[in-house]
Each structure stands twice: as structure tokens, then as C-alpha cells.
Structure 1
């Protein structure tokens, strides 16, 4: 059989999903195929470079600012493109999966300025979720979306001028979409998500006075940002969209990207909108990159590492300084608490922590921040209103007082808190519960009054891997061993609603990625093999 013609569209290899023909048109699939053929080889090279860089870190023990890009950092004159009107004020942003129709409506109506419509960590990439995430956004922009719950309550969009601006987050470069293939190869999930969204919505969004805006996850270097910029230029030219229409906010959620913030903005400068401080993935990246670097890089329990930890302060203050120096928005981290309507005492304590966190971010110079639940929108807004007033942002605060060294960014060992048996048990509980829900198609999961996504499951299993490898001794005197982890996991499985089906799968997968001899880079890679 001869090879497919260069113009052939991406092939769909999946069971039919209701209304998929509206998303998977021949023209849209041809556009995705063009993106794949042009950019997937470079994606592959950059993934290989990640592995090389990780091996180099293992040898040297310390990352540093790149000497070869010093001229970019030292040039005082360049700036990113001015923000479009729809992204000028970003004081509160709400997050949630685009594949949930009710959540789509609630997020748009929430009063937040921006909705991060997630196709990444808060979405389990079942084929139905991939297709319906695109459909929900297409329907929302056309104002043909509604939802009626099982109790009979109806949800619909409010007035257009009050709706949040959509910033869509595609999957990271490391994930494939196996249901779309080109020339026999799966299309990278990033290109599938971006391509379908951009193809169907770019012009309509321009007509609405907005544009195709994106959050870019899991970026590890300025070269990966350069690849995204080239994707944007190509996509705009292919569809006749004015160059510079796309705007991207990059999540600085890897330790290597923290050393290349200015370079990342520089690569994307005609399309850049800002940077975001992604707390959970950032901790995951630190654990992953320094997992075998000894006791100095062992983190305590996840919830003991707050944004006030010295190395986290260094990271966030450097982010604000970098963004404002270059005219970009600095967006703060997630308030993941889910208010309980049945327990006012839990609410009072948690909301006070949320207020303190958002007050800190606003005081440090951030221009906005994330929340996971509509009830937190007014809490975060009050913190930023108090600082911003009528101004849309505080880019005038250049934070020239901030001086951050490479050592400060990796000063993990300065924490006083130590790993505990309660922390180990919580890691197992969160990991098992999240993976079990993910395998059922849920990517945003309420666990212990927090909205969890894939990043928290990654931290859970990575910490256990590191604690076992380092022979950590917990507060009760027990050494963390594979046997102890299996014992705790077995207890959790026994208390699950059913000790079979997806719970058994989740248990086995969690132990596989937490205890394997060779560290697995992303748990979603083996988990994807079990999905559907």
C-alpha cells in the first residue's frame, strides 16, 4: 500500500461519539494533519532533549540560568505585545474541565474575568471528553449551550458582557491522542486540542471582540516555547487570521522553566500574554528532577509546602519581576478549596487561608489569581480589588527590589517540616482516589474538600518514590519502604466502596508508578493505556 497523500486528513480511530461530526470535519482534520506533519518531528526532538537535560541535572546536581541566552535577559528594551482588551483585567480566573457542560456554564457565569477551560490536567482524555470539550466551547461561543440536571434545574448563559473570557489549556507536549492518527502515528494531544479549537473558533471569537487565547502547560524550556510560537504563526497563516491574534499564557510549573522565564516570554513575545505560577506541578517537577539527589532535596508532606516556603517565594517573586519587566501579566496560583455548605467551621478556617494567600499574591504584585470553585471568586476578587482599585493590573510595580539566585530557587532543604506517617497515608489516599476517578473519565475530583487534578496525583506518587529511594524515616520512627507503602495501599483498597474494577486498577497502577525501579515520567502515560 502506498503512503497517504501529503494532503490527507487525520484519521479517526475511535467508536462514534454523539455529534462528533461537528468537530471532526474533513477540513478540521486536514488542518490537524498539517500541524502534525510540520511540527511533530520537532516535538519528538524536544522530548528527547528533556531526557538529556534530566540526565545532565542528575550528574551536576544544580540547574542554572543559561549563559547562551544572557543577552536576552540583559537587553532592557524588548517587551511582549500589548494585551488585548479581553485580557487586560485578569484579577480572578476560574479553572475547570471543558468536557463538563454544567461546569462550562457555571464557569462562564461565575463572575471571574477568565475561565481556564481545561483539556489537560483537569480532564481525563477519554474520546468522549476530548470531543465534548470541543463541542461545549463551540456551543458556548454560539450561545447554544444549556444544561438540565437530574433534579430538573436548568443552567444557561447570562448576559454576554458578564461572561468570563475563555483561555483554553491543551494537553502537554508529552501526551498523544491515539484516536487521531496521521500516516500511522498518533497526533500529539497538544496539536489535536489546539488545532480543533483554533480551527472552529478563531474567527467567531474575533467577531465577539475576543480571540483564541491559550494556557501552555508543562513547558520545560524556551525551545519548547519557540515551537509553540511557530505553531501559532503557521496556524494563523493557514487560516488567514491576523498574525499576533493568538495570545498565550505559559505556566511556569517546571523547575527548568523557572530558569528560563525571560527567554520563554521572548520566544513568544508577539503572542505572549503572561506567566502563571503553577504550584502543584512545580513541586512535582522539583521532586521528579531531584528525586535521586539525596536528602537535601526531599520534600515534606505535600500540604506542608506552602507558597511562603523560601524556595517558593523565590520562584513567585522572580515570576512577578520578570513579567512586569517585560510588560506581561503575572498570574498567581490555585485556591483549590471547595466550600462545604454543611460544615461552616471547615469553611471559616479554609476561607481565611484562601484570603491570606490571595492577599499575599496581590501584595507581591501579581495581577490575578486562580480559584477552583465559583464561591471563591468573590474572596479572591476582594483581595485584588483592595490593591488594584480601578486599575486592570499592576504592571507598573516592577519589583526591582527582587534579586533571585539559582541557589535560592532550589533551596528545598531549608524547610523545617519533615515527612510524616499521616503525609504518607494522605499521599496514598489522594493518589488512589484520583486515579480511580480518572479511569472513569473524571479529571477534576473533589477529595477531602480540595479540587484535585492530575498534578496532585503526580506529587503523591512521586513523593512516595523519592521517600522510598532515600530511605526516609517518618515522624513515628518507621522507615518508608515498598512494603510499608503496599500495606497502606492495601488498607485503602479494603476500605474502598468496591475492591474491584477501577479501584483495583487504580491500586495496581498507583503502586506501579510509585514503586517501580525506573521512575515513570508521567503517570498519565501508563494510565492512558487503561483508559476506555
Structure 2
């Protein structure tokens, strides 16, 4: 068993297997990071609240005058490491053992192992995930499916590994440092880096990360300071860490150059996190009653504000000689319906052709079955390793372009879809599953956030369905009841209980006068109350 210092409390069991990850040296490393950066992290989270108050008062997001020199000066990010020059297809998913093997074997160039939107932060999920990644890096990972008896091992050639830690807003309540829950970002990053940085470098790769949910370049600066400190503490060469920032908040869009500048010695570019971006658009402009989005299905990458953001990402990254990564198509193969399957694959292909033609250097998929489609598109349109030489010099964008509200309808079908997705995803999340196929789409926390955010927006902004009915709390609760009635016959008592808890959370989020920042925050408190340790 791992010996934990008195000033550090771990409120979950540490088995002999877990003690390998939670070693005294690893815990001391985490505690040092937490103590070094906790004050600054809290200050930046407080700055989010201050910024939101300004937005609520009617101040529109815009490019920052105080960082104009960074945007207009000539500088570039550090040279891209050899093994991530070509990132044309990246697959993402949770950190369970089978998923890691399948994703690394999928034929994608990169696998982003996700502790964030694809994972419920239960203790077993987190520590098992760290063990799985450690074993994958050392190529000792294997898995035998107890249901089928099928064995899984790594191919000779595998994807390059990136890891997405949780965002700055999350805490890890299983670990207390000086009586205070530690930053979930530092917990996820620190354990992975401590155990694997040296091994990755010895194998010709490096500790590569995705950084989510940031709202300011000052938050990127904090990550850079964490990287510098961590490398120094472990004697890892500076610049070994590389990180791709997800541009998935409306505020981050106005600071893309600044994000790259803060991380320029550790940068692996930017990624268009489209689903969280739509969610952020609703959230950050939640006090503006003129901002009402149509059905989620109508808010596509071809809408003006989304296309503007995507192309600005390309232009910004390529000016700084670094990757601009495209986003996730939520479609997945539909084996049971060939006609619907072909329609879905056609939409995926069109989405990837748009990204590659615009100038993105790679794209995301959520399912191994989509890797060949994305590869075919990027191989055809981008035969070289990347297209950083495509500068988009003639493209210009204004704040008005980035804030243009898309036009469309709000339908009963769209309302019902939001309710069904919200219920289905939160139910799975409460059971410890952070990524789930629903209605032939792969849903994670980001897409579920859109669904519940739209319901809140429609209710509190007096939106009207295309048939003339006003969207009210009562209408939403009626639809929630109807959707619960639909699923009940096929569920056992435990599953239906989870659905009812999901419905209770959805009702609370819709009713609240003030928009709740993240559904995963109250959901986290719920799972902690009921957590069962393996």
C-alpha cells in the first residue's frame, strides 16, 4: 500500500495495483504542483466570474486591445516533433483498456485518450485509466473480453498518444492537499507525466496533451508554467511537452494568437472543439435574449459563425507554423440500417472534405469505422504531412462574424431530441460511462451540454416552436415525462432509477434562473454520493 503524507488525504481505497500509480514519489509530485499553482488557478477562475458579469451587462466579446502587439508581431511556435508532423486523422475516446487498444490500432495517426468529456471521473475510471495508459506506452497492454473471449493486443504500428486532462474548473475530490480538493487538471496531467514522460521520450515520442475549456490566454499561460515547472522537477528537457489547445469557448476564439504565444515552446497547435463551442456560445451570451439558436441539427459547421471560427483557427495556426486541427463529426456507423448508414457516412465525408479543403491539417473521428473515410479524404486533398503552408492570407474576420447568430427553426422534434439526449447521456454518466451512442450519434459531455443549454435558453428567452407554441418549463417537463415513459419498459429498476436521477438534474438545470456553468459539476456531486469502489 502507498504511504500518504499526513497533509495529503486520499479518500478512496488504494489497492496494491493502484499503489503503483499512487506511489509516495508520485503523490509528492502532485502535491508540489498543487501547492505551486493553486492560488493562480483560483484567481483565474474568479476572473471568469468577473468576465461573465461584464458579458451579462452587455459587453460583447472582442479581440483584446492589450494583446494587439502579439497578434501583429512576427513570431512562430517551436518546431513540430517528428512523430506528430502528420496528424491527418485523430480518434478520441475514453481511457478504458479495450478502447485504448482499439484506438491505437485503428489506423488513425493520433489517439486522444480522454479523461474529460468522454469519462465519468469515478476513482476506478481515473486510476484504471492511468494504469492502462502506462501499460500501453510500454506495449504490455492486453485485454480479454469476458463476454466474447476475444483477446486484444497492440499492433506493430500504432497511433501517437495524446492525453486530455480535465479542465481548470474541475477538482479531484478524492485527493485533498492541505485539506483542499486538488485541481483535476493537475491530477490528470501530473500522474500521467510523472510515470510516462521519460519512457515516451526514450521511445521517440513525448508527453503530448490536449487542453480543454480555456477561456483566456492567461489560463494557457498557467498551463505553460505548469509544464515548465514539471519538466524542471523531473529533469525532463524543456519543450518536451507539447499541447494542443481546444478552442471550444467563444472567448478563446478572440485570443487564438495569444494562446499560441503563451505556449509557443510547448505548442502542438489549436483544435476546433465545435460542440463545446456551440455550448459556450449559448452559455456566455446567456443574458442576451436576442441570442436564440435553432435546433442543434441546424447549427452546422456551414453556418457563418462556425465557418468563420474554423477558418480563423487555420489562418492563426498556419501564420505561426503549427497545426490547425478540425473537429469531431458526431455521426457513427449504423450497421442495422444500410440506407441510414450511407446517409451518415456521406455527411461525414462532406464534413471532412470541407475541413481539408479549407486548410485544416487533420480531423477527429469518434469511431474506428470512420477512420478509413477521414483518411481517404485527407489523403486525396492533403497528400503531404500537413498544409501549414496554406496561409489563408486573404481571409479576414470580425467580431461580428464570430457572433452572428444562425437562423433556423425550433421544432418539437428538436426539443424532444434535446430532452432524450440529455436524459440518455446523463443516465450513462451517472453509471460511470462518459461516452455513449444515442440515436446514431456519439454523445459525450459536450453534446449533452448543448442539449440542456438549448432547453434553458429556449425557456428563459421566451422562444417559440415553429408551430407557435411557447417553450416553457411546463412543456419541457411534459416532454421529460413522456421520454421517461418511452424508455421505462426496456429497463431494469437500477437503470430506470438512473434515468429518474438524470431527469431530476435536467429539471433543475432548466428551471434555474441563472445558467449553470457545467452540468458535470452537479452530476459529479451526485456520483460521488453513490460511488462504489472496486
* Structure 1 gap segments, 5+ residues each: 1-5
Deviations 1:326-350 (A, max 9, x none): 0110000002222122211111101
2:327 aligned counterpart, secondary structure: strand
Paired position in structure 1 for 2:17: 19
Give the conservation status (yes or no) of the 8 Å contact 2:8–2:179.
no
CA distance in structure 2 between the aligned counterparts of 1:155 and 1:382, rounded to whole angstroms: 26
Give the conservation status (yes or no) of the 8 Å contact 1:276–1:331.
yes
CA distance in structure 2 between the aligned counterparts of 1:443 and 1:489, rounded to whole angstroms: 21
Deviations 1:479-519 (A, max 9, x none): 11000011000111122225742111111011111221222
Identify the match of residue 365 of structure 1 among 352, 359, 362: 359
CA distance in structure 2 between the aligned counterparts of 1:17 and 1:64, rounded to whole angstroms: 50
Paired position in structure 2 for 1:137: 133
Does residue 213 of structure 1 match 2:204? no
Paired position in structure 2 for 1:60: 58
Paired position in structure 2 for 1:3: none
Paired position in structure 1 for 2:448: 457
Does residue 403 of structure 1 match 2:400? no
Paired position in structure 2 for 1:287: 282
Deviations 1:319-371 (A, max 9, x none): 00000000110000002222122211111101011111101100000000000
CA displacement at 1:144 relative to structure 2: 1.4
Does residue 176 of structure 1 match 2:161? no
* Structure 2 gap segments, 5+ residues each: none
Give the conservation status (yes or no) of the 8 Å contact 1:17–1:131.
no
Give the conservation status (yes or no) of the 8 Å contact 2:7–2:179.
no
Does residue 482 of structure 1 match 2:478? no
Query: Residues 7 and 399 of structure 1: is their aligned pair in 2 closer, same or farther, counting only changes over 3 Å?
Result: farther
Identify the match of residue 81 of structure 2 among 81, 84, 89: 84
Deviations 1:150-195 (A, max 9, x none): 1111111010xx2000110000000010001100000110000000
Deviations 1:253-284 (A, max 9, x none): 00000000000000000000110001100000
Query: Residues 18 and 481 of structure 1: is their aligned pair in 2 closer, same or farther, counting only changes over 3 Å?
Result: farther
Query: Residues 244 and 506 of structure 1: is their aligned pair in 2 closer, same or farther, counting only changes over 3 Å?
Result: same
CA distance in structure 2 between the aligned counterparts of 1:444 and 1:57, rounded to whole angstroms: 32
CA displacement at 1:17 relative to structure 2: 5.2
Does residue 512 of structure 1 match 2:508? yes
CA distance in structure 2 between the aligned counterparts of 1:341 and 1:387, rounded to whole angstroms: 28
TM-score between both structures, scaled by the size of structure 1: 0.96
Give the conservation status (yes or no) of the 8 Å contact 1:8–1:33.
no
Does residue 127 of structure 1 match 2:123? yes
CA displacement at 1:428 relative to structure 2: 0.4
Give the conservation status (yes or no) of the 8 Å contact 2:172–2:184.
yes
Deviations 1:103-145 (A, max 9, x none): 1000000000000100000001010001011011001111111
Does residue 37 of structure 1 match 2:35? yes
CA displacement at 1:60 relative to structure 2: 2.8
Does residue 154 of structure 1 match 2:151? yes
CA distance in structure 2 between the aligned counterparts of 1:489 and 1:210, rounded to whole angstroms: 48
Does residue 233 of structure 1 match 2:228? yes
Deviations 1:40-65 (A, max 9, x none): 11111101100111111122341110
Identify the match of residue 375 of structure 1 among 362, 369, 376: 369
2:57 aligned counterpart, secondary structure: helix
Paired position in structure 2 for 1:392: 385
CA displacement at 1:292 relative to structure 2: 2.0
Range with bigger deviation, 88-97 or 487-496: 487-496
2:517 aligned counterpart, secondary structure: coil
Does residue 443 of structure 1 match 2:434? yes
Identify the match of residue 252 of structure 1 among 243, 247, 254: 247
CA distance in structure 2 between the aligned counterparts of 1:120 and 1:19, rounded to whole angstroms: 23
Does residue 94 of structure 1 match 2:91? yes
CA displacement at 1:468 relative to structure 2: 0.5
Does residue 471 of structure 1 match 2:465? no
Give the conservation status (yes or no) of the 8 Å contact 2:409–2:465.
yes
Paired position in structure 1 for 2:421: 430
Identify the match of residue 335 of structure 2 among 335, 341, 351: 341
CA displacement at 1:8 relative to structure 2: 6.4
Query: Residues 52 and 11 of structure 1: is their aligned pair in 2 closer, same or farther, counting only changes over 3 Å?
Result: same
Identify the match of residue 518 of structure 2 among 517, 522, 531: 522
Paired position in structure 1 for 2:273: 278
1:177 aligned counterpart, secondary structure: strand
CA distance in structure 2 between the aligned counterparts of 1:148 and 1:7, rounded to whole angstroms: 37
CA distance in structure 2 between the aligned counterparts of 1:276 and 1:416, rounded to whole angstroms: 25
Q: What is the Cα-based RMSD across aligned positions, in Å?
A: 1.3
Paired position in structure 1 for 2:299: 305
Give the conservation status (yes or no) of the 8 Å contact 1:315–1:409.
yes
CA displacement at 1:420 relative to structure 2: 1.1
CA distance in structure 2 between the aligned counterparts of 1:81 and 1:309, rounded to whole angstroms: 33
Give the conservation status (yes or no) of the 8 Å contact 1:434–1:445.
yes
CA distance in structure 2 between the aligned counterparts of 1:40 and 1:129, rounded to whole angstroms: 24
CA distance in structure 2 between the aligned counterparts of 1:320 and 1:239, rounded to whole angstroms: 34
Deviations 1:284-340 (A, max 9, x none): 000001112013x11111111100000111100100000000011000000222212
Give the conservation status (yes or no) of the 8 Å contact 1:336–1:373.
no
Does residue 501 of structure 1 match 2:497? yes
Does residue 356 of structure 1 match 2:350? yes
Deviations 1:405-435 (A, max 9, x none): 01100011xx331211111110000000000
